[in-house]
Each structure stands twice: as structure tokens, then as C-alpha cells.
Structure 1
Amino acid sequence: MTLVSTKEFTKEELLDRVQSNAEELFRSGTFFCTEAVVQTLNELLGKPYDENIVKLASGFPIGMGKAGCLCGAVSGGQMALGMVYGRVSGEDMNEKMFEKAKSLHDYIKNEYKSTCCRIITKEWVGDDFKSAGRKNHCITITGKVARWIANEFIEDGQIQVKQ
């Protein structure tokens, strides 16, 4: 997702692009859920982090290394929130970090009744992530998380859009 300037897009146009980009990165096989969210939001922010940052996300897909625990898209979303609200050694914690992290958790829990990969994908239990149905389900969640994070950044003034 190469953006010359986020100010060239309305909020909805930008959110659509973010969602579409995250979904396409997953759909194409370029990345899994966590990686697609991190990559998309790092690009949206103008690459404040080297593109290799996506490597930090590589152990989280399919519920943390296929363990079926925390949804990988949620893990990626939490990492992306840290890109803006995180801290470095010695800094005070930005209270927005906890607020936004909890809000993402609650958004997914309200939407899917869980943040656990194996619960969110229980309809496809035993398919070892091979079915098109499960992949499409996870692509949708990945896009929704990227969109939700981008919306938070816009609402908080971290990303500027065309008015």
C-alpha cells in the first residue's frame, strides 16, 4: 500500500484501502494475519520502522505459532498500536496504549465472542488452516483489525485525512 499522502483520501477511502491492503497481503500468501496487519499499518504510518519489523510478527499467526491461542490479527493490531503509543526504555507509559489495547481486545471479543483463534475458527476445527472457508474468515478478521487500528489513528489525530 503505497500512499503518497494520507491527506489525499477521505477517512472512508483510506480505511477501505487499509482494509483491502491487509486482506490482499494475506490472500496472496505474502503474509499471514499478524504480519499483514503490521506491514499495512507500518506503511500507513509512513514506515516509521524498517520494513523488517514484520519479522517480529512472524511467530504470532494462527494463534501464536499455530497454537490456536490469541488471534494473530489481534496480536498484529497490538503491535501496530505500539508503533504509535508504545514507549522506549525509561519513558512513562502512554496511558492511551492500555486504553487502545483493551479497546481492540473488546472489539474483537464483541464481534466474535472470543479473541482465541481456535474459538473464532471452531467451525473449521481439524482442517489445519487448509480450507478456503477458514482462510477467507481469517482474511476478513485481518482486514477488520487493520481498519479498526487505522480508524483509531485517524480519530486520535495520528493520521491526517482529506476533510
Structure 2
Amino acid sequence: MAEEMVLEARNRAGNYFREGYNCAESIFLTFREMVAPEVERDLVRMATGFGGGLGHAGCICGALTASTMVIGLLCGRTDNRQDRHRAYELARGFHERFEETFGVTCCRSLNPHPFDTPEHLRHCLKITGNTARLLMEYLQEKRLV
């Protein structure tokens, strides 16, 4: 069952990307469906600007940023008196896992092709699917799903 969820996450994220969603939107939509279906689908709007490393600035990968959003959905706080350290620890841990896997976290370093070219889109499709796989494995390991 755990491996099936990992493959399903990878495939869903890849399918969303193929449909025209950016990397961040694809991660958000995939995990909203799989682990937080009570969350409004329209909140995907919050992920839109993260594509291309913050609006094509080439900075931190949008798939990584959206993964942090998912971690927040699962263990973030809703009250300023609640402890935020678990969410910080999990976000940092996933950031480190992402960097170990891909070598870097910066969009322009992950994908050197010009934005929105066929080469760029093919490469981002792989990054998006593999980030979804990595995130589902991480969430399972941390017993968040």
C-alpha cells in the first residue's frame, strides 16, 4: 500500500504538470487530493507564483516550495500559541532530503533550459514527479500519512 501511494503521487503530479499546471500547483493539487481532501481546491492559487523558482526568478524550486506547503497543511499551526518547531523541523528535513536527491534546490540549477521550452518542460516534468514521490516517501516515513 505504501509503495502504491508513492507511485500514485508521482503519477498524479506528472499528470497535472502535463495538463498545464506548474510544478508547485501540481504538487499542491496531488497532495490536497491524497492527504487533505478537506482543503479547498481553489487554494491552488497560492501555489501559482512559486512556479519557475518564484515567478520565473529561478530561485528555490516551486515543487520544493509546494512540498513545504503540504507539510504545513498536515502539521502547521492554526493558532500563534501553538508550537511551530515540528513544522520547522519537518520542512527543514524535507529540504535536506530534496537537496540530497537533486544536488541543489535552485530552479535554474535544477533545470538549465530556458523557461517554457520543450526541453525545460520535459525536465520539470521529471523533477515534479520525482518530488511528489520523494515527498510521499518522506510523509510516510514521518507518519504524517
Question: Could you tell me the TM-score, scaled by structure 1's length?
Answer: 0.82
Aligned Cα root-mean-square deviation (Å): 1.5
- What is the letter of the counterpart of residue 38 of structure 2? P
% identical equivalent positions: 28
In terms of fraction of residues, the more helix-rich structure is: 2
Q: Answer with 60-69 or 45-54: which moved more.
A: 45-54
Task: Verify the 8 A CA contact 2:14 2:126 in the aligned structure 1.
Answer: yes
SS of residue matched to 2:89: helix
> 1:63 aligns to what?
53
Residue range with higher mean Cα deviation, 148-157 or 81-90: 148-157
Structure 1 runs, 4 residues or longer, greater than 3 Å off = none
Whole-angstrom CA distance in 2 between matches of 1:104 and 1:46: 19
TM-score under structure 2 length normalisation: 0.91
Moved more, 46-55 or 145-154: 145-154
2:58 maps to 1:90: no
Deviation at 1:46, TM superposition (A): 4.1
What are the ranges of 5 or more consecutive residues in structure 2 without an aligned counterpart? none
Number of aligned positions between the proteins: 145
Q: What aligned pairs does 1:95-106 form with structure 2 within 5 A after superposition? A: 95-106=85-96
Taking structure 1 as reference, are residues 46 and 110 closer, same or farther at Cα in structure 2, changes over 3 Å only?
A: closer
Which one has a bigger Cα radius of gyration?
1
Alignment-mate amino acid for residue 157 of structure 1 = R
What is aligned with 2:70? 80
Secondary structure at 1:97 match in 2:
helix
**1:15 and 2:6 equivalent?**
yes
